[in-house]
Amino acid sequence: MDASLIQKPMDIDEITDFYLPGDQPRHGVFFPGRKPLQPDMFTMAMALVDAARKTRLNNSTVTFNGRSFRCHIMPTHEGDMFIFRRMPNKIMTLKDCGYPPVISRELLSPRLLKGGLIIVSGLPGNGKSTTLASIIVDRLTKFAGICITIEDPVEMPLQGFHGEGYCLQRSITGEEELSGAIKDALRAYPAKTPAMMMIGEIRDSKAAAVALRSAVDGRLVMITMHAGDIIQSLFRLCSFASREMPLEEVRELLASSFRVAIHQSLVKNGQGRTVPRLSALLDTQSVVGTIKQRAVSFDTLKNDLNHQQNLFRSNQPIDLRPID
């Protein structure tokens, strides 16, 4: 037999997703490339579908041989499709993620101990959850305190101690709304302790409004959003929240709480390593002034964004607004 026709076993670390039909998992495909399952994957495919069924949830996290997978069950006209996204086994530092020091320095600044809002945006599958997990672990290790995450489902292995800091991961249960889970988590913070909250993904108006209100109360709130760039993420957040409260209040809350917005995509560098391609916007007086003015379009921030990117590239400092 021609050796080129022999299928080599796939390294699981090279696979991002599995799409497995519930009635015939062996007939599934994996990505990238949408390739049919290889025979050495059949046992894993059957076990993953069985584990996901046992949770009785449409969104869950399951494991196989020490590997974690986020599962979503999608009903189709030919039956349920079980969609599994492979999750990292360990939390990387921002440095390990490939974050440049100039941005990491702002994300790990003691300035953020006074609270505020961090927005990490990007398209699906571009490492937003990985970035937030790295920020959480790095900040807990550096400053201690407590972080509570609200996730649907829980993705990264964060619960427990990180240095002197502690993380609790709260999952959404049953028909519970994300906004209700956020409000419940707010009751769980100890007094006089550095506090962080991570919200897995903002995708409705109630959650957006509660997130903004939570970010002005002294805790550091970190959220992810699906968006094509930073400007879109700010617009989407305000668009969601303005369905629950007046736009003037939304812009005021965002201006008060805004600290950092990041947009990232994952690309291969010259050494073949996957690294984040980033743009970032920090809370200068100019940025905050634009956000605060209801009549001013967020597109005006493009000038600030381009100016800050030039300063990042030349490793020059950016004058940030004072935080009370």
List the CATH number of the domain containing 272: 3.40.50.300
* Whether residues 216 and 98 fall in one domain: yes
* Whether residues 68 and 151 fall in one domain: no
Q: Which residue has the tokens 């805790």?
A: 219
* Whether residues 144 and 229 fall in one domain: yes
Phi and psi, residue 33, nearest 5° = 105, -10
Q: Which residue has the tokens 């997990």?
A: 133
Predicted confidence at residue 2, as pLDDT, reads 43
* Whether residues 251 and 282 fall in one domain: yes
Q: How many domains does the chain have?
A: 2
Encoded tokens for 142: 């550096």
* Whether residues 107 and 67 fall in one domain: no
d(C-alpha 314, C-alpha 308), whole Å: 10
pLDDT in tens, 74-94: 999 999 999 999 987 788 899
d(C-alpha 84, C-alpha 206), whole Å: 28
**Composition of the chain by helix, strand, coil, percent to 5:** 40, 25, 35
* Whether residues 64 and 182 fall in one domain: no
pLDDT in tens, 184-241: 999 999 999 999 999 988 989 999 999 999 999 999 999 999 999 999 999 999 999 9
Range of the domain at 302: 94-313
Residue 318 lies in a domain: no
Predicted confidence at residue 138, as pLDDT, reads 97
Query: What does DSSP say about strands 116-122 and 220-226: parallel, antiparallel, or unpaired?
Result: parallel
Residue 62 lies in a domain: yes
Residue 323 lies in a domain: no
Residue 238 lies in a domain: yes
Residue 101 lies in a domain: yes
Residue 145 lies in a domain: yes
Encoded tokens for 107: 């994300």
* Whether residues 106 and 9 fall in one domain: no
Query: Residue 131 half-sphere exposure, CB side, CA atoms within 13 Å?
Result: 29
* Whether residues 151 and 62 fall in one domain: no
* Whether residues 68 and 214 fall in one domain: no
Q: What is the pTM of this model?
A: 0.84
What is the dihedral sign for C-alpha 110, 134, 187, 202? Answer: positive
Predicted confidence at residue 9, as pLDDT, reads 64
Predicted confidence at residue 11, as pLDDT, reads 75
Residue 322 lies in a domain: no
What is the dihedral sign for C-alpha 310, 313, 314, 320? Answer: positive
Predicted confidence at residue 175, as pLDDT, reads 73
- Residues ≥6 apart with Cβ < 8 Å to 73: 22, 52, 58, 59, 80, 81, 82, 83
* Whether residues 177 and 275 fall in one domain: yes
* Whether residues 52 and 195 fall in one domain: no
* Whether residues 59 and 126 fall in one domain: no
Predicted confidence at residue 7, as pLDDT, reads 52
Q: Give strand pairing partners of 261.
A: 119, 281
pLDDT lower than 50: segments of the chain: 1-6
- Looking at 86, 113, 135, which one is the last position of a domain? 86
Q: What is the DSSP letter of 92?
A: P
Encoded tokens for 158: 């964060």
d(C-alpha 45, C-alpha 53), whole Å: 12
Residue 321 lies in a domain: no
- Looking at 34, 54, 86, which one is the last position of a domain? 86
Phi and psi, residue 293, nearest 5° = -85, 110
Helices (H), the chain: 42-55, 94-97, 101-107, 128-143, 178-186, 205-214, 230-241, 247-257, 285-292, 301-313
List the CATH number of the domain containing 61: 3.30.450
Rg of the chain in Å (alpha carbons): 21
What's the N-to-C CA distance of the chain in angstroms? 73
